A and B are shown apart, each in its own frame.
Chain A
Amino acid sequence: MSAFILRLVVGIVLALVIGPILVVIIAAFSSGESLSFPPPGFSLRWFIEFFSIAQMRNAFMLSIVLAIASACGAAAVGLLGAIYVSRNRNAFSVMLQMLIMAPLVFPALILGLALLLLYKTVNMSVLPGLFIAHVVVCLPYAFRSVLTSLQSFDTTLEEAGQSLGAGPVRSFLLITMPIIWPGVLSGWLFAFVVSFGELNTALFLTGPGIVTLPIEIFSYLQFQGNQLVVAAASALQVLIILIVLFLAERLVGARQIVQR
């Protein structure tokens, strides 16, 4: 009896979590003119439509470029922060860790508003402002991933490197980096995905001609644009995430097996 209830609840949770995404993906392949269920048939017309709308296409490209750039930024900065935090046990390192992790829970919309006001005051242009906001928001994910791999890294390996004559920088590059590489890569991929779907800070920080895909989808929905194009855009988002996860599994997973 209780086992049945348990399975029922698991089913409800899965339905709540996956259901809406499945519906979007099915709708995206509809051949109908507008949203209706069940769809009259299946086609790729809304994907073609998506790429024929310049705004959508530009937003998609911007999101990809921005995600790559901010993932690189977040991974680099997160790596530096994780190096410090993993090797220093003091009040400053605790403070730094809390600071880097803060954007993870901090309401992103409020951060977006605060950044907007700062940018307006110092006349920051849109694109760099958006990039920095994405780096800050993605930083906790990249940092956490790198920190985990650094914490499981055996630092006597670096001591061994030094005993053989490699200075701190050389032993980090020649020994530590090749070993923690999967952690850095998965941090990068995590940051990429987060940036690609980022919405709440970008809400205030996009500008004319510089709009990310999630914001474009949002404004289309709000202004009742053709909704099946939106479904196609959403399906593309899911597709990109699945590709990234697949890559992560192949690259990081395979590499980590090699490490053992």
Chain B
Amino acid sequence: MNPSLSRNSLAWAVALPPLIILALFFVVPLGYLLFISFMTNSATSLFDVQPTLANYTEIFSDSFYWLIIQRTLLSTAVVLILCLLLGYPAAFYAAHLSPRGRLIMLMIMMVPLMVSNVVRAYGWFAILGRRGVLSGTLTGTGIIERPVQYLYSFEAVTLGLLTILLPFMVVSLTNSLATIDKHYTEAAHSLGAGPWRTFLRVTLPLSSPGIASGLMLVTFLALSAYVSIALLGGPRYKLLVSMVFDSVSTFRWPRAAALSFVLLLIAFIIAIVIQLVVRPQRVQGKA
């Protein structure tokens, strides 16, 4: 505790700029968005000031939207499971490297993380497209006869999302695994647990905070990765976030707002499910 800046008006002077910026440009717009989601669609202005629940009821009573929601849940679930199945071993590997090796591995994960999503989506475009790497290789080796395009499908979107999200998962898990005291595993060995049982009974539960935070980050990002979904899913494979964008393109602002909050609701439900399944509070203590 430093008395110099903590107990006087200086403390407020320091806290105010971030507070004002986030209040005006994060909290207020989201509140406004929520407000608009309960207003009536208008042809001439942003919305008509006529309170209604129609934006929400229409979403939930439309079988098309249900299909989209189901598809969104399914693809998110698949991405989460793949992220965990692929990310955990990679993180485990990285965590057991030397500090220097771990740094290199994390850097390899960080660079793609910084490259814009659109670039990485374009990479898959170039791989899966009709004249892309995959098709080119397969025709070149004679496995298939004519160029095929593998875009605009569930698989393409899943691959695209994995590319974006795996680094987040690996970084989160590596940091969690690297901080586990190796005395815990040594203690388990000394008590007669083999490597697998040590992993299942000690390492895995101890890394649960990293699993939970990684999965939650992946959930939020997967649900809102519009650009990858749009480029790789195309018009044929749309998810909920595409619906938000489509509503904006047709200037149905209250509908877009309502869809946004349905998306957020789904994200929070998945986050709660993750918390209940992974139970990170076992290790973290009661928050």
List residues of A whose CB falls within 8 A of some B CB: 5-7, 9-10, 12-14, 16-24, 27, 34-38, 76-78, 80-81, 83-84, 87-89, 92, 96, 99-100, 102-103, 105-111, 113-118, 120-121, 132-133, 135-136, 139, 143, 155, 158-159, 162, 168-169, 171-172, 193-194, 196-200, 203-204, 213-214, 217-218, 221-222, 227, 230-231, 234, 237-238, 241-242, 245
Q: Do the beta carbons of A117 and B257 come within 8 Å of each other?
A: yes
The answer to whether B122 has its CB under 8 Å from any CB of chain A is: yes
B8's nearest neighbour on chain A, judged by CB, is A168
Q: Mark B112-123, 1 if CB is under 8 A from A, else 0.
A: 101111111111
A-B pairs with the 3 shortest C-beta distances?
A: A20-B123, A107-B224, A197-B116
Q: Do the beta carbons of B131 and A36 come within 8 Å of each other?
A: yes
Q: Mark B254-266, 1 if CB is under 8 A from A, else 0.
A: 0011001001100
Q: Do the beta carbons of B118 and A83 come within 8 Å of each other?
A: no
Q: Do the beta carbons of B5 and A168 come within 8 Å of each other?
A: yes
A-binding segment of B24-32, B49-57, B64-72: B24-32
Given contacts A20-B120, A197-B117, contact A241 B257 (CB under 8 A): no
The answer to whether B86 has its CB under 8 Å from any CB of chain A is: yes
Q: Do the beta carbons of B127 and A241 come within 8 Å of each other?
A: no
The answer to whether B211 has its CB under 8 Å from any CB of chain A is: no
The contact sample of 6 A-B pairs, CB cut-off 8 A, is A5-B89, A21-B120, A24-B122, A37-B126, A214-B116, A221-B125
Q: Mark B2-42, 1 if CB is under 8 A from A, else 0.
A: 10111000110011011101100111111011001000000
| Residue in B2, B89, B119 whose beta carbon sits within 8 Å of that of A24 in the complex | B119
Q: Do the beta carbons of B92 and A6 come within 8 Å of each other?
A: yes
Q: Do the beta carbons of A115 and B25 come within 8 Å of each other?
A: yes
Given contacts A16-B159, A117-B46, A199-B227, contact A110 B5 (CB under 8 A): no
A-binding segment of B161-169, B175-183, B186-194, B274-282: B161-169
List residues of B whose CB falls within 8 A of some A CB: 1-2, 4-6, 10-11, 14-15, 17-19, 21-22, 25-30, 32-33, 36, 46, 86-87, 89-90, 92-93, 107-112, 114-127, 129, 131-133, 136-137, 159, 162-163, 166-167, 170, 216-217, 220-221, 223-227, 230-231, 241, 244-245, 248, 253, 256-257, 260, 263-264, 267
| Residue in A6, A135, A158, A199 whose beta carbon sits within 8 Å of that of B4 in the complex | A158
* A189 to B: closest C-beta gap in Å: 10
Given contacts A23-B133, A117-B36, A234-B122, contact A13 B170 (CB under 8 A): yes
Looking at chain A's contact residues, is the secondary structure mostly helix, strand, loop, or mixed?
helix
Given contacts A110-B260, A113-B33, contact A17 B126 (CB under 8 A): no
A107's nearest neighbour on chain B, judged by CB, is B224
* A12 to B: closest C-beta gap in Å: 6
| Residue in A7, A100, A196, A242 whose beta carbon sits within 8 Å of that of B93 in the complex | A7
Q: Do the beta carbons of A121 and B108 come within 8 Å of each other?
A: no
**CB-CB < 8 A to A103: which residues of B?**
26
Q: Do the beta carbons of A237 and B115 come within 8 Å of each other?
A: yes
| Residue in B27, B33, B90 whose beta carbon sits within 8 Å of that of A10 in the complex | B90
**CB-CB < 8 A to B248: which residues of A?**
113, 116, 204
**CB-CB < 8 A to B29: which residues of A?**
111, 114-115, 117-118
Given contacts A100-B22, A106-B220, A115-B29, contact A83 B126 (CB under 8 A): no
* B162 to A: closest C-beta gap in Å: 5
Q: Do the beta carbons of A17 and B127 come within 8 Å of each other?
A: no
Q: Do the beta carbons of A238 and B115 come within 8 Å of each other?
A: yes
Complex Cα distance A72/B189, Å?
A: 51
**CB-CB < 8 A to B167: which residues of A?**
17
B124's nearest neighbour on chain A, judged by CB, is A20
Q: Do the beta carbons of B119 and A203 come within 8 Å of each other?
A: no
Q: Do the beta carbons of B115 and A35 come within 8 Å of each other?
A: no
* A64 to B: closest C-beta gap in Å: 14
Q: Do the beta carbons of B263 and A110 come within 8 Å of each other?
A: yes
Q: Do the beta carbons of B257 and A113 come within 8 Å of each other?
A: yes
Q: Do the beta carbons of A9 and B18 come within 8 Å of each other?
A: no
Q: Do the beta carbons of A37 and B136 come within 8 Å of each other?
A: yes
| Residue in B87, B109, B114, B263 whose beta carbon sits within 8 Å of that of A197 in the complex | B114
A38's nearest neighbour on chain B, judged by CB, is B136
